[in-house]
Amino acid sequence: MSDSYSQQPNLETIGNKNGMRVTIMDWGATIISLKVPVFGESEPREMVLGVKDPALWSTQNCYFNATIGRYANRIASSSFEIDGRLYKLNSGATHCLHGGVDGFDKRRFKLIDKSSDSLTYTLHSPDGDMGFPGNFDLTVTYRVGNDNSLYVHYLGKCDQKCYVCITNHAYLNLNGKHSSVLGHTLWLDAKEFLPLDADSIPTGEVRKVSGTAFDFTVPKTIGRDFNRDPQLLQALGYDHPYLIEGDGTKPFARVESDDGKVKLEIFSDYPAVQFYSGNYVNVGGEVEARDDGRIYGNQNALCLEPEFYPDAPHLPQFADVNPPVTPTAPLDKFICWKFTR
């Protein structure tokens, strides 16, 4: 079997009694397809971006719907210290993004359990992998509920202290077709966000969303205030961490398709969510859309990635909500996407 990323992928499909179907690829424990029944439509509607042939997943460099690790988002200067020891990360760039040049999105996970509605995968990351300390073992479980939810649970154990942040980089488009998402309506239960510098690294400031283009506490279309802020002009759109509160029992976000037929609630027990409006989908490589073969454009999807704060190793003032994994304190987090009418 080929060890080249995305070649000879193993696919598994799970679902529920309503006709919701989710297909997962072992490379990156990646969501290849997420189809949800929509009232009045004869076929379930596709909710995520993707290419027609999973074996061609390597033609995209946007991390489409993959498991991200060891550390999702950015770590400044591709390094951090733990207990006085410096760790240099293999990022191939000034700053480390999504775990480095060979992150978890490009690894073949092992399927260890499956049923009609759930899949469980594991991945072993050895000590020194991409520069991160400790032997790290990750278990990822996907489960489809009869309430049209997709729940994913992350359990990560490490034999050394290490900064870890695992998420899913789902590229959502609730229109079910190749289209812009600037007409999607978004509500975010977040009163604060983290401003970024020119390299998309948090400055350390916490800024109120009230009175700014970043305010989604009252639902509005993503495009309404698009680029009406220096931060948005710098990032070519939304690509910022919002601070969320709670234990995951209430949704932190609601998204509605342009036609109003699909509504999505998102839950998580992470302290932040990166809201990304797909500003670079068409930067650095053209990807043919699976539904019509045309090239995906920027803002053809949105991402809401629950996670710890970006660059948390360099933000000690927020250490209480961004703890490292230790041999006695594993990573134990979840994300849930729930589709409603």
Which residue of the set 95, 240, 256, 305 is catalytic? 305
Instruction: Tell me how many helices (H) and strands (E) the chain has.
Output: 1, 24
Query: Cα(77)–Cα(86) distance, rounded to whole angstroms?
Result: 12
Query: Cα(109)–Cα(243) distance, rounded to whole angstroms?
Result: 30
Tokens at residue 253, please? 């976000």
32-40: which pairs have CB atoms within 8 A and are 24 or more residues apart?
32/57, 32/65, 34/65, 34/150, 34/170, 34/337, 36/148, 36/262, 36/339, 37/148, 38/176, 38/261, 38/262, 39/261, 39/341, 40/261
Query: Cα(93)–Cα(39) distance, rounded to whole angstroms?
Result: 46
Identify residue 78 by its one-letter amino acid code: S
Which residue of the set 169, 178, 184, 240 is catalytic? 169
Residues pairing with 235 in the sheet: none
Query: Cα(267)–Cα(21) distance, rounded to whole angstroms?
Result: 20
Region of 98 (left: φ > 0; alpha: ψ -120 to 50; beta: rest) is left
Radius of gyration of the chain (CA): 19
Active site residue 307: no
Q: How far is CA 244 from CA 154, 169, 208, 269, 272, in A?
A: 19, 18, 12, 9, 5
Active site residue 169: yes
| Beta strands 96-97 and 85-88, pairing class | unpaired
Least Cα distance to 148 among 301, 14, 259, 257 occurs for 14
Query: Cα(256)–Cα(180) distance, rounded to whole angstroms?
Result: 13
Query: Cα(340)–Cα(195) distance, rounded to whole angstroms?
Result: 32
Query: Cα(131)–Cα(120) distance, rounded to whole angstroms?
Result: 26
Please give the positions annotated as active site.
Answer: 169, 305
